[in-house]
Amino acid sequence: MKEPIVTENSPSLPDRDQKSSGADPFILHANYELFIAGLVFYKLLNSILWVFLRGKESVQVVIMISIGLSMILLVDAFYRLLKAPKKLVWFSSYFGFLVFIGSLPIPFMVLARLLWYRLVVRRIRRSDVRSMADMVVEQRAQSTLLAVLLTALFVLEAGSITVLAAEAGSPGPRTHEEWRGIDASLRRVPSEPAVPV
């Protein structure tokens, strides 16, 4: 079997594997990056709800979802740090510290992640963007699954907030004191004399 001729300009095997996953040290996987970006924008929406939403129970739901999103983003931040060839360079020169700051469960800290994405986009080549888009199209099943997971999480939170808001507007069950007041008022009503037959 004739071996392929390798020239100086021929891409090596690691280069080909790198192109299949995004060809940039910032990009781990095309579908994974889109999913994490969706979580980032979702966390930004939760930050807005956290500050401006009324209702104690609804805010508690938003806080719980925000903490869950922060845990996922923190795991992603540590994963990126472990995958980086030069961890200190990634953390400082490649603005990795913004990834950790943007993962904290504090309202609007996620803006640091958006700033990091802005800096990353400036470093990505157009050919890398095209290869990422091709990968998303080729792996439609994986892309659809991640989109469904993100949508299900959003629907769960929106449904919980809607139900809590509806329950807050409806009258709740009577308390023990209210039932005692009703019983006392009934005792004060004079009974009608019995009519002789």
Q: Which of the listed ranges 14-23, 43-52, 120-129, 186-195 does the model predict with the highest average pLDDT?
A: 43-52
Tens digit of each residue's pLDDT (9 = 90 or more) over 80-101: 999 888 889 889 888 899 999 9
pTM listed for this prediction: 0.66
Q: What's the pLDDT tens digit per position in 23-65?
A: 455 666 778 888 899 999 999 999 999 988 888 888 899 999 9
HEC readout, the chain: CCCCCCCCCCCCHHHHHHHHCCCCCCCCCHHHHHHHHHHHHHHHHHHHHHHHCCCHHHHHHHHHHHHHHHHHHHHHHHHHHHHCCCHHHHHHCCCHHHHHHCCCCCCCCCHHHHHHHHHHHHHCCHHHHHHHHHHHHHCHHHHHHHHHHHHHHHHHHHHHHHHHHHHHHCCCCCCHHHHHHHHHHHHHCCCCCCCCC
Which is more confidently placed, 146 or 100? Answer: 100
- Confidence band, pLDDT 50/70/90 cuts, at residue 4: very low
**Confidence (pLDDT) at 164:** 81
